[in-house]
Structures are given as C-alpha cells and as structure tokens.
Amino acid sequence: MTITAAIRTTALTKAYGQKRALDAVDLTVDEGSIFGFLGPNGAGKTTMLRLITGLARPTSGSVHVLGHDVATAGNAVRADLGFLPDVPGFYDWMTADDFLRFAGGLFGIGGAVLDERVAMLLDLAGLAGVRTAIGGYSRGMKQRLGVAQALVNAPRLLLLDEPTSALDPMGRKELLDMIASLRGRTTVFFSTHILGDVERVCDSVAILDRGRVVAHGPIGELKARYGVQKVVLEVTGAADEVAARIATRPWATEVTRESGGAIVVTVTDVDAARREIPAMVVAQGTGMSRLDAGEMGLEEVFVELVGGEQR
C-alpha cells in the first residue's frame, strides 16, 4: 500500500523583512499519522500552520496538502481540513450551538447530519446544555469549542496549534485521548512546546528551531539517532573512586555526579555497562543501591538539539 503525504513542504520559506520565520523547510507528514510539531516559542510553528492553511503565502517554496497545492487549491483543500488556531476567535454573540451550526453550514453540512454532529461535538467539548453566549466563556471553554469546530466536517487533516495550552489537566488528558482515538482515520498535525504531549500521542515528530527543522522522523528513530544511553548508579560508599574506575572503561564517554550523589554515566554500550559496573563496585569494596539504564527521553533529545542555544 502506498502511503500518501497529507502535508508536503518543499524548501518552504517565509520571511518578514530580513527575518526568516521559516527557512527552507522540507517536511513530509504521512496520511493517517499523528504528527507533533515541536519547538520553543518563536520557532516558527504558527507561521508554518498559517502557510499550510493558506492564511499566509510563502516567500518561496511550496506547500502541498492532501495532494493539492495550497496556493491554487482554494476551497477544494479547505473542505478536508479542520483547524484550531492558537487563540481561537469566535463571534461573542453566538452560542456554542450557533457556532457549530454556522461552521457546519460553511462545509455544506445540514439537516439531520448536522444536528447529530453538533450534539456529539457539544458533548465532546463539555458544552452540551450551555446556553450562554460565547462572549462569557472561559479560555478553556473556548479552546474546547475550538477543537469541536475543527472536527465538524470530520476532516481528513486536523491541524491544531498549541491545542492543550489553555486546558486544565483533565481537559488536556481528554483532548490527548481524543487525538489518540483519531489514529489511522485522520491525520493530526499539532504544534506544541509541551514535550509530554508529543511523546504521549505522536507517531512522528519534527523539531523546529529558529525556522529550521533540526530533526524529523518517528519518535523512536529520533531517540535512537540523537539520544545516547545513560546509566544512573548509586553506591553506598567510595562514589568518587567508583566513578573514576568507570571513567576508564571504553564504553563510558562521560561520567558526571548528580547533586544527590548519584553517578550518571553516558554509555555507548548499555549491556557492557550493566555487566561490568556491579563487578567494579564489588572490586572497590562497596555496595550498590541503584542501577538504572535506559534511553534518553524526547525531552532530552529536544534539549540537546535546541536547548543549548535557548534565547
């Protein structure tokens, strides 16, 4: 089976005067995937979404969405999109029901199908029975309504800009669960600076820094590519001596001490470390209270790629 690209950008560049918000970004998002677009504030995530949705035009390069060139496709591509901006703006005089019916109407949905979908989405957003106008909603309520309106057309591609930023922990969990439930049916592309959200639901991720994609691929692959393995060790005594012994081994590339006294060893061969460290501890005549070995998390990959140059 051929997997088609839901989003494909080629040398996509957006400049505002001398500043390049996006710089020659090549990105492919497979259809059916849940894709996390990760980057620190100001990295260019919202600019990218504005280009994908056709709200802004690229300075150079191209964006293809669901096989259409966004620059020329018009309504053909928008009919299959659902979009939640970072701060969704609503008509304050409408109710949630009004807005969902209005949004559905723009997609040409009407009658019983719209009735059923509006009821289901109001329920999903926790706004069923809320009769007050949107002007009186909290930011969290608006964010949930924003998610609901993005789903009104059962989109093939759902674009979410920082969708969890205004939600409380329960709302955030429910939204991430909902996104996960769309796996395989709808392509979800969401931008965020919250690493935990990406790690929890995404298949693939791109990390953006100062307008450039610095890493792109399945999460596991990224961690394998950029993530070195670490061993954390706690001993009952002679920690400095044990650390010095470990530092002589060829698989130990770096040995550091945590503030609590633990020894952190960056290793090239975690199996060798697991085998040899207990023997070294015994040889030093001391005891061992902890030995953890594992891969770096996405957070550490992120920090390694962009964190050292945080502005």
- Interface residues with other proteins (CB under 8 A) are 50, 53-57, 74-75, 78-79, 81, 83, 85, 87-91, 93, 102-103, 105-108, 110, 146, 149, 153
Secondary structure class of 13 (helix, strand, coil): strand
Measured from the CB of residue 165, what is the shortest distance to other proteins in angstroms?
15
Q: Which is nearer to other proteins, 13 or 284 (CB)?
A: 13
- 189 or 302, CB closer to other proteins? 189
| Angle 191-197-201 from CA coordinates, rounded to 5° | 95
Q: What is the 3-state secondary structure (H, E, C) of 115-130?
A: HHHHHHHHHHCCCCCC
Nearer to other proteins, 135 or 220 (CB): 135
Nearer to other proteins, 91 or 220 (CB): 91
Instruction: Choose between 83 and 226: whose C-beta lies nearer to other proteins.
Output: 83
In whole angstroms, how close is the CB of 176 to other proteins at the nearest point?
22
Nearest distance from C-beta of residue 56 to other proteins, angstroms: 4
Minimum separation from the CB atom of position 75 to other proteins (A): 4
- Residue 298 phi/psi, 5-degree rounding, is -60, -35
Q: How far is the CB of 271 from other proteins (least distance, A)?
A: 51
Structure-token match 């970004």, residue found: 25
Taking the complex as a whole, how short is the minimal distance between the CB of residue 102 and other proteins, in angstroms? Answer: 6
User: Do residues 105 and 84 touch, judged by C-beta distance below 8 A?
Assistant: no
Give yes or no for a contact between 292 and 231, defined as CB atoms under 8 angstroms apart.
yes
* Helix runs in the chain, H state only: 45-52, 70-73, 75-78, 96-106, 111-124, 139-150, 169-181, 195-201, 219-226, 239-247, 270-283, 298-306
Residue 57 or residue 185: which is nearer to other proteins going by CB?
57
